[in-house]
Amino acid sequence: MAEERIQKILSKAGLGARRKCEALITEGRVTVNGVTVSALGSKADPETEEIAVDGKRVKTVSSNARHIIMFNKPEKCITSASDSRGRPLVMDYFKDYPVRLFPVGRLDFDTEGLLLLTNDGNYAQEITHPKHKVFKTYEAVVAGIPSEETLEKLRVGIMLEDGPTAPAIVRSTGITRDRQRTTRRRDKPLPEVDAAVIHISIREGRKRQVRRMFLAVGHRVIRLRRIAIGKLKLGELKIGKWKVLTEREAELAKQTD
């Protein structure tokens, strides 16, 4: 196998985006066969040489292939790598996967739907960084029926505590009945209320952004599901299941128009 730039090898092994891996090198934390390599642009052969960060051997991916997985995340599981409260982790579903993966962005504990996982830091960056402007589309079931005027406010942008939201694509797809969630497990279930099903596409990825946007216009989100990233749709993939994407499918996630 041919030599490759070390930052690329590290990024493919799941140590983060290319920039972050470059910093690991310049900080002198990377060794190749026990020798510190701190010059950017240095190359190594991931098949035959031992690459380590902070003295810990990096599990390099044996083929040059990048892995991109589409997962239908269930509610009540967390995207972070660990949880002090012992809650189920997304990564529990990938314990036996041969390559070390990491989630592309995050979804809240209570949010279900499309989550990508990859071993390619650059791919992750292209999907998540706001400068690439990839739309993420959510199906939100919200308490009450928002007026057209309210939906227009969300489209144009509203003020949240951390600043104004960028323009969004918002469309009501129907009316239903649903039960608002209680926050404490011991509470009695709340009665059913009229609810609206809204599709909302946003380009930013601020914390609990969709929930906060609806709350700011007076509608609590009852359920939230991500149904698309760019032009990649969740489709019929069952909750808790995943599939490896082809290169073509992976590219769809980057397309916005």
Look up 83 and say whether it is catalytic.
no
Residue 195: strand pairing partners: 143, 176
Footprint of ligand URA on residues 12-71 (CB under 6 A)? none
Under rule CB under 6 A, residue 141 binds ligand URA: no
The tokens of 239 are what? 């909750």
Footprint of ligand URA on residues 87-116 (CB under 6 A)? 107-108, 111
Pairing of strands 35-36, 242-244: unpaired
Size of the chain in residues? 257
Under rule CB under 6 A, residue 210 binds ligand URA: yes
- Nearer Cβ to ligand URA (137/150): 137
Task: Name the segment binding ligand URA (CB under 6 A); options: 21-29, 163-171, 191-199, 209-217.
Answer: 209-217
- Nearer Cβ to ligand URA (119/128): 128
- Nearer Cβ to ligand URA (101/224): 224
Which residue among the candidates 108, 162, 178, 187 is catalytic per the annotation? 108
How many residues in the shown chain lie near ligand URA by CB under 6 A? 8
**142 to 161: interface string for ligand URA, x by CB under 6 A:** --------------------
Which of 208, 220, 233, 254 forms a contact with ligand URA (CB under 6 A)? Answer: 208
- Nearer Cβ to ligand URA (6/114): 114
Task: Please name the residues in contact with 36: beta carbons below 8 A apart, sequence gap of 6 or more.
Answer: 28, 30
Under rule CB under 6 A, residue 209 binds ligand URA: yes
Closest CB 214 distance from ligand URA, rounded Å: 8
Catalytic residues: 108
**Contact set with ligand URA (CB under 6 A):** 107-108, 111, 208-211, 224
